Amino acid sequence: MKKITTLCAAISALALSTGFAIAEADAPVLSIDGVVIATRAPAPEYLDIDEVISGWVFRTVETQALQMDDFDNPGMIFVDQALDDWNEVNGSEGKSCASCHTGGPEEFAGLRTVLPRWNEDAGAVWTMEDYINNSLVEHMGAEPWKVGKAQMNAMVALISLQSRGMPMNVAIDGPAAETWALGEEIYFTRVGQLDMACANCHIDNYGVMIRADHLSQGQSNGFPAYRLKNAKLNGIQSRFSGCMKNIRATPYAVGGPEFTALELYVASRGNGLSVEGPSVRN
């Protein structure tokens, strides 16, 4: 296996890539305020790769550094904004998030690691966005927030932050199995004018350059991610949408069943990697 790894590194170096080969050799460690983040982990047994690697490893040293200090991480600005929303009364019931969740956002430590997950009452797999909107509508009598928009992404970041450093561990069996299988099918199905599947980039070619972009494994453990290109937090399903546009396919609806299935499948591909949230990517 060692030989193959070396070979891969050599190939990626040939393909005008310097970053990944260097990252392999130096093996940088992501530690944020004393919390060590697992950016590499043995792959779960249902995958066809040996190791799962966080997108952080594939970024440049400068971008990596931004995430190693919360003061420098621009994503934390949005976490602060979400904290304001957390305490703000919203809706007909006269409640804020804090009215019921008296323990603060800390109550949700660990939640991010198991989402998306099967919700028995709803009879479907729910993302964190679904849970937030359910609370807004059912408990607070407020309008739901749009999935993928700033306010929602910020709240997802605040809640994800509580699980920082904990390993992703979504369930793929039991009632979630069907949704997971749909996600897997989407991941491997070629679509769009360029006729590409997620797997073509994120399994077959991670570590090499696709023009100016350094392909990662497409892991979701760092989401929501602050992207330098648009200076805001980006939700995972919006990222899927961007990927699909890049391969000239018509994206599925953000917040819809296809992307939720894909989110579960992609999350399962990262089982073992630490939650980073909010991460910094380019």
Known catalytic residues? 243
Contact positions vs other proteins (CB under 8 A): 71-72, 74, 77, 80-81, 84, 231
- Amino acid, single-letter form, for residue 260: T
Closest by Cα among 8, 20, 96 to 61: 20
Closest by Cα among 18, 238, 80, 42 to 149: 238
Q: From the CB of 71, what's the least distance to other proteins, in Å?
A: 5
Contact assessment for residue 90 and residue 140, using Cβ atoms and an 8 Å cutoff: yes
Closer residue to other proteins in complex, CB, 80/178: 80
Q: From the CB of 83, what's the least distance to other proteins, in Å?
A: 10
Closer residue to other proteins in complex, CB, 2/229: 229
Q: From the CB of 232, what's the least distance to other proteins, in Å?
A: 9
Q: What are the tokens at 212?
A: 């100016």
How many CA within 13 A on the CB side of residue 113? 16
b/e per residue, 96-105, with b = 16+ CB within 10 A? bbeeeeeeeb
Q: What is the spatial distance between Cα 115 and Cα 112, in angstroms, rounded to a whole number?
A: 5
If phi > 0 it is left, if psi is from -120 to 50 it is alpha, else beta; for residue 42 that is beta
Closer residue to other proteins in complex, CB, 117/227: 227
* 44 prior amide bond cis, ω within 30: no
Q: From the CB of 181, what's the least distance to other proteins, in Å?
A: 41
Closer residue to other proteins in complex, CB, 81/119: 81
Q: From the CB of 212, what's the least distance to other proteins, in Å?
A: 20
- Report the length, in residues, of the chain: 282
Closer residue to other proteins in complex, CB, 81/169: 81
How many CA within 13 A on the CB side of residue 203? 16
